[in-house]
Structure 1
Amino acid sequence: MRALTWHGTHDVRVDTVDDPEIVNPRDAIIKVTSTAICGSDLHLYDGVIPSLQPGDILGHEFMGEVVETGSGSTLKKGQRVVIPFTISCGGCFHCKVQQYSACENSNPAEKQDMSAALYGQPMAGLFGYSHLTGGYSGGQAEYVRVPFSDVGPVVIPDHLEDEKVLFLSDILPTGWMAAENADIQPDDTVAVWGCGPVGLFAIQSAILMGASKVIAIDHYPHRLELAKQLGAEVINFRETHVQDALMEMSGGIGVDAVIDAVGMEAHGFAFDNMLEVVKQKVGIGADRAHALRMALMAVRFGGKVSIPGVYGGMTDKFPTGALMEKGLQVRSGQTHVQKYTAKLLEMIEGGKIDTTFMISHRLPLEEAPHGYKNFKEEQNTWTKVILKPGMAASA
């Protein structure tokens, strides 16, 4: 089959690789009909997530048709399914309390030591996201093996086309959980750093949850316009002093809740961020946390901090004093996708959530390297890229 594989920093290629096979009774094989490039895929593309190996298949946002099942799968051949990026067994302590992204059994035992050394306990398995998370082949491919297929996949009604539901795999539940983690109350003013796909869905979710004011912070004009169309007020951080603007917009006390949808590769020319860019490139620092620092300084005393943006290692100059002295509540984590999919699918069917507004480009799988390059370098206009295996390549 054809699949997008990683070969080094900014070097991804569509190669011919072995077809996946059923390994365990609970497995299923999916023929991919749509897959997407996620903002967190760029962390792999940029080489800032450790443990990738040449030839690893990327991609964790995908859906398709069931073509083969193991004896323990609950899926049936021919069903259309969206696959959560989190691989979860359904039976461990964390799965039973709906903390699916902390599954204790999905990361193979032989791959757990690295993430346990970094974080204290091993990570759960994720599709296409390095050997820290199990080394599973991802969904930017013609076919994928799906472990624990009796737990994760979301069966999709035939009347809903792929693009309306594809983002149930990751960014829609991630944006929803980000807003939920901000514990939004009806009178809250919420500031969201980053108007990429997760940030836009967090804005949409915060508004649906009843926030009185949502403020979007970015520097790409088109992404800020999308946020404005959702109902947010916007700040271009290259034109406005963010802290001063937020204090003014919140009556002088700071915003009630902040959402960092930027993560470990923050943009901007602030001194702390430029220093961390250098550290990241030479390997002595892992995370650029400028957006998170700004969020912690802007939120009011007793405020709420939600961190859906991906962080992978250490950060310097972290404002622990502000965190403690201000009495902040902080919630973060990989998304517990399976907890939210049924509710979000119902909202999509009912017309309460639109998932298609941010799609800017549709490409054949064969053009995935071109999609990655432009999604990184042209972020103002390349807001979301869908890849279609089997789609004819452009002339």
Structure 2
Amino acid sequence: MTYTPKSDFLTVMRDRGFIADCTDYQGFDEALLAGVVPGYIGFDATAKSLHVGSLIQIMMLRWLQKTGHQPITLMGGGTTKVGDPSFRADERPLLTPAQIDDNIAGIRQVFAAYIDYDSDAPNRALMLNNDEWLDKLNYLEFLRDIGRHFSVNRMLSFESVKSRLDREQSLSFLEFNYMILQAYDFLELNRRYGCLVQFGGSDQWGNIVNGIDLTRRVLDHEIYGLTTPLLTTSDGKKMGKTADGAVWLNADMKSPYEFWQFWRNTTDADVGRFLKLYTELPVDECDRLGALGGSEVNAAKIILANAVTTLLHGADAATAAEATAREVFEKGGVGDDLPTLELTAAEVGDGISVVQLIVRSGLAKTGKEAKRLIVDNGARLDDAPLTDAGLMIDAGTLAGTVKLSAGKKRHALVKLAD
């Protein structure tokens, strides 16, 4: 970014590393200086929770509001019925309207932790659902009034589509319509709410530009797009994905302790960058902590884990997670905040295999993976090496709490339900 911004929002975005590209830095900056700017990000409801990969977008909306502007959270109740083909190898499975509504209900829980939807301030956030206007579209009118503004040649040139076609992978007509619907969202948000900017990951650049072009053609309004970098960790892994799967933001899908532990396990090279993106610590302090080396960097990782967990789950959850980690790792104890699998006496019966417990507690995805963990000496039962993959655990043992471990950093408790 060579342009030097004057607005608080763009300055924060630049200094903290949020910006990949912008359609017009100066124009957007001047709009931010002129008054309250509404800006939106769309979230399709493909699961019951968003994961850590979406957190950079959520933090961007939070900073937008903190610098005096209006965040719009757009739930993709309509676009989820189609599915975004961007950079995917295959078509997304189609969800029923009931599944989509259920997923939206789950996703909504996260945003209240970051964004204020309830105040009377001019920049009070809005949460909308694009099904409100997409579901009512008349197909022939839509083709005539909106479809005529899109060049198929240009749409085929977008990298998200081109990469799919270059691999000779099918792109259905249903998916091809997605970018038109997303462009129409921007038009509608501008028309209804004066929305001036769409944010998104850099993979959404083509879709964002489409919306800007459409709004200029139909309404003759000047609007903007700003993208964030697609984040990977320093070792090349996609942000939010681990060996155990996605790091979900909803507490019922990833416990606050597991969430805290994800950030505590950040690689040394990522600490400073993640502090800038995912916390509100001053930039100078983020740089200082990120420059620490040796054992000192572990203190910075705890600060990172506490700050990120506090924003999402609250200070009490962060404190409890840190206490559990100290109990487990420094004192060899059990820890009150570990993920817990509760089984009924009927489920245990005359005994349940330790392999099944490892899978059901989330320490392995399959029985095969659990057995391999045991064979490779990576599993422990109450901190003792687990060597027998055929071991059966009876109800008497589970009357007290049993601790299972996979490697040095992943633990779970198993007990009988009260």
Specify which structure has the higher proportion of helix: 2
**TM-score (norm. length: structure 2):** 0.27
Specify which structure has the higher proportion of strand: 1
| Structure with greater contact order relative to length (CA < 8 Å, sep ≥ 6) | 1
